[in-house]
Structure 1
């Protein structure tokens, strides 16, 4: 198998940029379908990613360039991640004190949009001053922005929510990232429509059934739900199964919407040759559990089970260093020998 990333080259998904990173795993294209294609409903029902065109979901926002936002966002303060490099790896500040020796190249700041724009423009001249705005869209963002937000294609997205039995909309985030920025691989516990407003992003997706190959941090760690693997230089001695991962790859352009199913890993990059990228996310809680759970369980359900077990052990043991040994004690030499199954390598 070719160990270099297989760049998608169909006309709907490809990018003209020659500076995208290359990674040591194979890829297949994320399906890209027009909103009129009934296959979209099947993809979403089966919790499989798909890029949707022509939805007009965020059409009123397509004029949201920096000048427009600067003029209309108002004087509120906004949530901004500041990184010493191009990677913006989120962490849970509530878990920092519980983790010995934790260090991050990213910090959180609140700043006026005017200050954000100034720092965004000079980021290329000042090492370690990359900024990434991640702000909830609410009534503090200015009248014209709210007016555009109200005119989103809510009928379509609400129909999808009802059709697939999702829970309530929890938030809409406005994301403004510098060129070449990276949100490293992670998964979320909600359904997500990721709408592109300005610029181009590349998305790499990994299915939940590859959970063991992605080496997530423990649930008590500030980087919970994120991969420990450095995609630019994988340490195969520590993470040998990462050699086996396969990804879906797609390029999302203004006006297009990517469905990211719950528990699907996603690694997101902004075009290194473009300007800043702007996106809006639509987050939905999962629906209620059916009275009769169908078997076999899906990979998403298995990830949920693992998280719940890990959280329960963490609460009971009150020492994350005891969780691994306890699980080994429970399984090693028992289940594999009893059922004549070879243990994983």
Structure 2
């Protein structure tokens, strides 16, 4: 039976404090919309584009510009435009003809070495927002400032760290998929090749319609908890401003120290992938029917060791 039209509404929990999040929500490893959490005066102040432009200043930023709302990172259906922050802020909110779609994802001072940090890149704006104390301070990885124009839809992907998506201005629709549906997501790296999640091509992506959706609407002041490895896609219903807070929930040794975006796969997986590449190359030394025989044996071992061991008794 097709599950294309099936979707679960993401749970909304109100007035959560740190103890409730850590003890009741976090261990379940499921997305939750947190409503009523104090995130500071940003909800009121950032509504004003003039305020954002004045506080953000003339810092140079790079924005994504696309002729279509659905931005595709794999095939790069957008270009980059370098602007000052106050110019880009005005452009993002004043799009009225809908011929272009804009998306700003703030980067570190040197993206090759520095992580995004709102306190570093936008110190005056950082004073307005309060991050919930739901994680150990020493585990904080990055805080990413984002702005996008209405209708903009960002590609489906997963992150390797836990994440609080703090919606400050505007509404956005969020659609998530469980890590258990990884075999239905048609991945290219950490990103899904399925661009139109509501009308996927059934011939090109037949399994995608079986992946179970989790949907919700984020409003100003809401926070979405996105556990690591959960696939997520966002559609801006309005001009929107948000901040993502990522933190390391595993031991530091499990993360690639060269990663400034928080999207490089965990080190043990990268090692396993290299070993698998060598194994597949070794199988190429055999005739096709032998490769098939031994390849199936390797798959069976992986399923027995990894997949079956993860199932509850």
Do Structure 1 and Structure 2 share a fold, with TM-score over 0.5?
yes
Partner of 1:145: 125
Is contact 1:167–1:286 with CA below 8 Å preserved after alignment?
no
| 2:1 is the alignment partner of 1:27 | no
Paired position in structure 2 for 1:43: 25
Report deviation, 1:80.
1.2
Does the aligned pair in 2 maintain the 1:76–1:112 contact within 8 Å? yes
Q: What is the alpha-carbon distance in structure 1 between the residues aligned to residue 280 and residue 295 of structure 2?
A: 21
Contact persistence 2:53–2:90 (CA under 8 A): no
> Aligned pair in 2 of structure 1 residues 239, 303: CA closer, same or farther (>3 Å)?
farther
Count of matched residue positions in the alignment of Structure 1 and Structure 2: 271
Contact 1:59-1:255 at 8 Å conserved across structures: no
Secondary structure of 2:72's counterpart equals coil
Q: CA deviation at 1:184?
A: 2.1
Aligned pair in 2 of structure 1 residues 30, 328: CA closer, same or farther (>3 Å)? Answer: farther
Contact between 2:163 and 2:225, CA under 8 Å: does it hold in 1?
yes
- Provide the residue aligned with 2:63 in structure 1: 80
| CA distance in structure 1 between the partners assigned to 2:63 and 2:193 by the alignment | 23
Cα offsets for 1:92-129 (capped at 9, x unmatched): xxxxxxxxxxx4212333311233145335644363x3
Question: Any stretches of 5+ residues in structure 1 without a counterpart?
Answer: 4-23, 92-102, 218-223, 291-301, 341-345
User: Normalized against structure 1, the TM-score is what?
Assistant: 0.68
SS, match of residue 234 in structure 1: coil
Deviation at 1:227, TM superposition (A): 0.9
Mapping 1:122-161, distance limit 5 Å: 123-125=95-97, 127=99, 129-135=100-106, 136=116, 137-142=118-123, 144-149=124-129, 152-153=130-131, 156-157=132-133, 160-161=134-135
Correspondence 1:285 to 2:248: yes
Q: 1:36 to 1:242 in 2, by over 3 A?
A: closer
SS across alignment from 2:160: coil
What SS does structure 1 have at the residue aligned with 2:207?
helix
Deviations 1:238-259 (CA, angstroms, capped at 9, x unpaired)? 3222121111111111111110
* Residue 177 of structure 2 corresponds to residue 206 of structure 1: yes
SS in 1 for 2:249: coil
Q: Establish whether residue 258 from structure 1 lines up as the match of residue 221 from structure 2.
A: no
**CA drift at 1:313:** 4.3
Alignment partners' CA distance in 1, 2:8 and 2:50? 37
Structure 2: runs of 5+ lacking an equivalent: 107-115, 254-264, 305-313
C-alpha change, 1:318 and 1:71, in structure 2 (3 Å) is: farther
Distance 1:305 1:119, change over 3 A: same
Change (3 A) 1:203 1:140: closer
CA contact 1:190–1:261 (8 Å) conserved in 2: yes
Aligned with 1:192 (options 147, 160, 163): 163
1:310 maps to which residue? 273
Cα distance in 2 for residues equivalent to 1:328 and 1:131:
47
Please, which of 160, 168, 172 is the counterpart of residue 139 of structure 2?
168
